Structure 1
């Protein structure tokens, strides 16, 4: 697997079409995202997240993601506002999520030496899985199943609104079995440490592949560490650890959550939760039975506390 070093996206000026670039929100191997301001038709100012694909990324990949975002509409998926082009550069304007991504939230908690509460971890998992369940079942406008798999679930692609919503974003490597969308067969295109065992082998992906990635994220939230990370840059070592998927769960972890993690992270697809709904159901049952059923308002208050958000 080749890991590309991100390069800055060049823009001709701070103004890009109708948008005024303010700052860079994040970057990855395929794109960079900027905070940008604009004015709507009523003269009211608003802010967006403006995504630019890197110059070396095939135009088809950009078009695929833009088309998917236009087709999909769900409260737990990042919404596309506009697709456009200015100064010869295409862009996607997306809703701005002021709570940032889960990775940033995890780092803030680590700096504050605070754990991720189990009830909130389960809630984040459930909300991500709601979005994935819709994603996996998405159809074309004519009703044909797309057979979508996200393929890149990781903390950097899970976002929070200031109102406490949890949303999945970045559909740049999503694979559609029912359409010519996504990476070529046999290509492991997601972030290395969040690949499923079948992804590392170049096998066809299923919703259970995304379930495995959600299991990794849950493990990080509940235990503060990645289950398969190794102190090496050797890709093969990391892939072998993912394929073996040996878990070392402490006795202090709630038994119900431990059982959920073991099933979500089973290297055998047949033994794993098959769908987002199955894993979400297990997490919801645990939340209700443990009295830790978290609400959107709880998340909003918690984000305000951890990140200092106002409102």
Structure 2
């Protein structure tokens, strides 16, 4: 079975052509608030073809949408890290902007989580340490970018979640989609007050309070991803947390005024209540069965106050790599690729049908269930 591979077509549809290079539609992948995603084949006048992802705006197009897409490209041009999917160019065609991006053949962590749920066993601690340390390193690169004068750009991804992290077919780990990122780039379009962009299921407490966030908000989101990979459960799906929320009364007025830019699998007020009232004791219950040193890492990553978390992606990366060294584990891309492949094959054996687990490279997010 092939997952996330381009489909062949005898009659490819030309999207546009630039300097003799043709971009042909393979299939539509879904919509997000910041554009429609397409899988395309790039054919050079002379030379082999390759696959790319293309983001375009759907009609009707507002000036705000155009500005956001241009900002995404301007920001992406300043990021040069092997753990961040590249943006190649911005093309204007038929009055619409198209962004041509790197195609990462492999699987998203959303798919990996689906696979582990099907086989009822999470990925190994070594796999989680490898993946999360690679993402932490990529985030550190983004968080520390400066402008031409050495001034910090203040980049915050704001949408670190399993769908935006991909494990390539060779085990490489890539962070994708800076479409809702915050930065201090001149002329950027400010987010409207009381609007939460990105997946709120992985938002930090300060984001849910509609406060100004910094890079440590991304590290909290990554901590939630890490916990979910280790346990197979989202922290705020835990029954004990839900019972505590129900007993603690209504949420603040600020939260009730907020709304999400994209549909969420849980109402915003309910998610805000969960994230505002969780504590170390909830993380402790969630991490039962995880090795003690790794539990300490998760605890620190998921502290409510930013000052108590890891203060940089580099610090989190080093903590995870030290864990692997102390355990005497040599774990890298080959091992990660092999473990994902084995997990998929195990899940396939348990499936009743032969449906593809993830038909799209970046699928449109489906509503998530309250229970895993």
Mapped contact 1:98–1:162 kept (Cα < 8 A): yes
Aligned to 2:316: 279
Contact kept, 8 Å, 1:245 with 1:266, in 2: the verdict is no
Residue 221 (structure 1) aligned to one of 214, 222, 229 = 229
Which of the numbers 248, 266, 271 marks the counterpart of 2:303?
Answer: 266
For residue 268 of structure 2, what is the aligned residue in structure 1? Answer: 235
- Shift in alpha-carbon separation, 1:126–1:250, aligned structure 2, 3 A: closer
Instruction: Tell me if 1:37 matches 2:46.
Output: no
Structure 1 residue 96 displacement after superposition: 0.9
- Count how many residue pairs are aligned between Structure 1 and Structure 2: 296
Q: Give a deviation string over 1:47-82, Cα, whole Å, max 9, x none.
A: 111112344562111111111112211101010122
Tell me by how many angstroms 1:178 deviates.
5.6
The answer to whether the 8 A contact 2:116-2:232 is kept is: no
Q: CA deviation at 1:306?
A: 3.9
- Which residue of structure 2 lines up, in the alignment, with residue 86 of structure 1? 93
TM-score, normalization by structure 2: 0.74
| TM superposition shift of 1:112 | 3.5
Q: C-alpha root-mean-square deviation of aligned residues, in Å?
A: 2.2
Q: Write out per-residue CA displacement over residues 81-126 of structure 1, whole angstroms, 9 at most, x where no aligned residue.
A: 2211223221111111110321122213323334211110111100
Q: CA deviation at 1:217?
A: 0.1
1:14 lines up with 2:6 in the alignment: no
Q: Work out which structure has the larger RCO, using CA pairs closer than 8 Å and 6 or more positions apart in sequence.
A: 2
Give the structure-1-normalised TM-score. 0.87
Q: How does 1:94-173 map onto structure 2 within 5 Å?
A: 94-173=101-180
Q: Distance in 2 between matches of 1:91 and 1:39?
A: 16
1:185 Cα deviation after fit:
6.8
Instruction: Give me the whole-angstrom Cα distance separating, in 1, the residues matched to 2:46 and 2:293.
Output: 52
| Distance in structure 2 (CA, Å) of the matches to 1:63 and 1:78 | 17
Larger radius of gyration: 2
Query: Unmatched 5+ residue regions in structure 2?
Result: 1-11, 17-21, 243-264, 346-372
Deviations 1:197-223 (A, max 9, x none): 000111111111000000000010001
Structure 2 CA distance for partners of 1:304 and 1:260, relative to 1, 3 Å? same
